[in-house]
Amino acid sequence: MRFLTGLQPSGQLHIGNYFGAIEPAVRLQERGEGFYFIANYHAMTTMESAAKLRENTRALAVDFLACGLDPEKSVFFSQSAVPEVNELAWILSTVCPMGLLERCHSYKEKMAKGFAATHALFAYPALMAADILLYGADAVPVGKDQKQHLEVTRDLAGKMNDAFGADLFKLPEPIINEVTAVVPGLDGQKMSKSYGNTLPIFGEEKAVRKLINKKVVTDATPLEAPKPTEGSIILALYKLFATPEQYQAMLDAYHTGGVGYGQFKKDLFEAYWEFFRGPREKREHILAHPEYVEDVLKSGAARAREEASTTLTRVREAVGLIWY
């Protein structure tokens, strides 16, 4: 089975990125063939600085590898290293109804945040569909808020199959981890850079400790009193990093009282710091060998282009672009 995941190089990775996309991708590479890419074409819809795009692309490659992506088990590449994806996006757009794009919430959300109303932003789902269909993905890990885009992909694949051949594209299935599909931010909202409520994967020790102490929202329950568990941000985050035994111990302390939120925040930091110890050490090693990242991406791009070329040749023949 082939899995596919793409991540935009939009800046420092946070734990929402980790549990929502990176950890599932790393886990799935043990179950099948993974095609994982850095979505730098997509990033251009909201990023105007070429220097920043280059910087973020490289940083994402380093961090993804540090978090466990294995280039021996997966194909890892930059989206822009496979230009065939743009031709397929154009072909898909010829069967894509305007209404389908107009209903996509991502475009509306970006507009509400003040981003320019460009064609690229509007047609984003067609390029996303091309990302998936170009490599023949069987399944795509998605968050609940991204499921609509996969539905667009399936719709477009179905329209192409109806028009040009029933076996032109396979219809990919979503994989949704219900437990970690939405990681809470430090303020209780969904974790998002736009809300300023993120917890970085690779933050500095003192800075992250301070961030947890200052930003994690709690109520005014006295130290000696039992603490409410429903809606507790500390508990929700701690559960992601702690062992079942550690989590149960904190839950018991909440119920019995006698422990303040300051101690719970300290325990949260310690669990977080230990959880990412291995990735931090691996990241330091990768940063000391920059040529490794370049070699991995070049090798992955070559493998991805082989697959893309095969798919695109089949599609071009089916739609009549190869006529001689």
Secondary structure letter of residue 225 according to DSSP? S
Catalytic one of 52, 144, 159, 193: 193
Among this protein's residues, is 147 annotated catalytic? no
Instruction: Based on the residue annotation, tell me whether 159 is a catalytic residue of this protein.
Output: no
Handedness of CA 93, 99, 104, 105 (dihedral sign): positive
Q: Answer yes or no: are the C-beta atoms of 149 and 128 closer than 8 Å.
A: yes
Q: 7 has which bridge partners?
A: 38
Q: Is 190 a catalytic residue?
A: yes
DSSP states along 140-159: EE--GGGHHHHHHHHHHHHH
50 CB neighbour count, 10 Å cutoff: 9
The residue assigned the tokens 């980790």 is: 18
Of 280, 108, 113, 274, whose CA–CA distance to 192 is shortest? 113
> In angstroms, rounded to a whole number, what is the distance separating the alpha carbons of residues 34 and 276?
23
User: Left, alpha or beta for 279 (phi > 0: left; psi -120 to 50: alpha)?
Assistant: alpha
By annotation, the residues acting in catalysis are: 110, 190, 193
